[in-house]
Amino acid sequence: MQLQGHDVLLRQVASLTGSMPGDVPIDESVRNALPEGTTAMSAYRFGQSAWSLTAKINAVDKHGDPTAFFLKYVPGDLGQMQLEGEFVGMTELHKAAPTFVPRPIGWGKLKSVVPSSHFLLVEFKDFTPVLPDPVKLGERVAALHKNSSSPTGQFGFPIQTFDGARPQAVGLDPSWTSFFSKLLAEAYRQDMETNGLWPELDAVYLKVQSQLIPRLIGALEADGRVVKPVLIHGDMWDGNIGTESSTGDPWIFDCAAYYGHNEMDLGIWRAERHQLRSKVYRREYLRNMEPSEPEEEWDDRNRLYSAKTNFMHSACFAGSPARQQTFDDFVFLLRKYFPDMSDTTERNNIKQGE
């Protein structure tokens, strides 16, 4: 699943964005992807992204009324796989929650503007820079999970999807325990690729894989329990949630979609770097969606689920505190569920690099 190196990608994006400081040329492929009768008038840089150039297209529809679209250009090998995965994921999310997910319009290869690059075109929403309303967000995320299901009955996704600019392990699997183990393993591999081996983390990670996951996640599929694979966004942090200025309603975008345990979508809300870490967001979700059994282990599962997003963040940003947070969370959970493990878990106060 390895593509071009992360540093290479950043240089490609820098070259792409540097060549388009303000107005953005609209490629012929983009114009052809617009709804029938729509005419693009102009485009300009809009929003921030570490992996792509993003822009707003001003257009008029077939009735002559103003309309707008969100445009993304991604360079290199990444562009094709990332944007196809995002387009298919957003399409499925929009089907399940059309009042929560902007409508994807199209994607494809650029013809002339930026060689060897691809585009994604999405319905434009005008957002205000405020955090989403916890009540509305909890209702809508729960509704998305309730209204979706895996067409194969398995966890994963039929094509490769990405968490930011990083591929995630989404191969189909009938078991959530097995799927989550592989999802976390790939995130950990990428973290080590960026930051190198940290022996203390490696020791507790191996115990998480061999003992904690079978116990804590395995309990969801034990004693006749079944985990229903539902469509999750996969990267629902506050930067990928907008509040519509005219209605105050939340919308989600920039997905890393796959079919998984519904609670997985909330793991990212726990991360210390995100404003959605406030417990009110998790509480409002749980008002609309009961915890899976064993209910009393919900918070521990949430802590473990946050490890995936923390590893991916650490993989993208060398030296991220998310790596230390994951180590601390692993130690906390191992001590709780396996209190006799004193050899490695006594290292809780060890900091990375010490």
Class of domain 10-124: alpha beta
Considering the entire predicted model, what is its pTM?
Answer: 0.91
pLDDT surpasses 90 at 22: no
Q: What is the DSSP letter of 244?
A: E
- Strand ranges inside 8-65, DSSP E: 39-45, 53-60
**309: β partners:** none
Amino acid at 176: W
Which distant-in-sequence residues (6+ apart) come within 8 Å of 12 by Cβ? 4, 75, 76
- What pLDDT is stored for residue 228 in this prediction? 98
What are residue 7's phi and psi, to 5 degrees? -65, -35
In this prediction, what percent of the chain has a pLDDT beyond 90?
83
Tell me what pLDDT residue 269 has: 96
In whole angstroms, what separates CA 348 from the centre of its chain?
Answer: 29
Over the stretch 309-336, which tens digit does the pLDDT of each residue have? Answer: 999 999 999 999 999 999 999 999 999 9
The pLDDT of residue 52 is 85
Give pLDDT, residue 78.
Answer: 81
Kindly report, residue by residue over 102-154, the tens digit of the pLDDT. 999 999 999 987 778 999 999 999 999 999 999 999 999 999 999 999 999 99
How is the chain split into domains, by residue range?
A: 10-124, 134-339
In order of 76, 83, 201, 299, the CA distances from 351 in angstroms are: 37, 37, 10, 24
Question: So what's the pLDDT on residue 20?
Answer: 53
DSSP letter string over 176-194?
Answer: HHHHHHHHHHHHHHHHHHH
At 265-277, the pLDDT tens digits run 999 999 999 999 9
pLDDT of 2 > 60? The answer is: no
- Whether the CA torsion 72, 77, 80, 84 is positive or negative: it is negative
Pick 134-339's CATH classification: 3.60.21.10, 3.90.1200.10, 3.30.365.10, 3.40.50.10490.
Answer: 3.90.1200.10
Q: Which of 72-81, 201-210, 343-352 has the highest mean pLDDT?
A: 201-210
Residue 14, pLDDT score: 47
For the stretch 71-103, pLDDT in tens is 999 988 788 999 999 999 999 999 999 999 999
pLDDT of 3: 44
DSSP 270: G
Cis upstream peptide for 294 (omega within 30°): yes
Q: What is the mean pLDDT of the chain?
A: 91
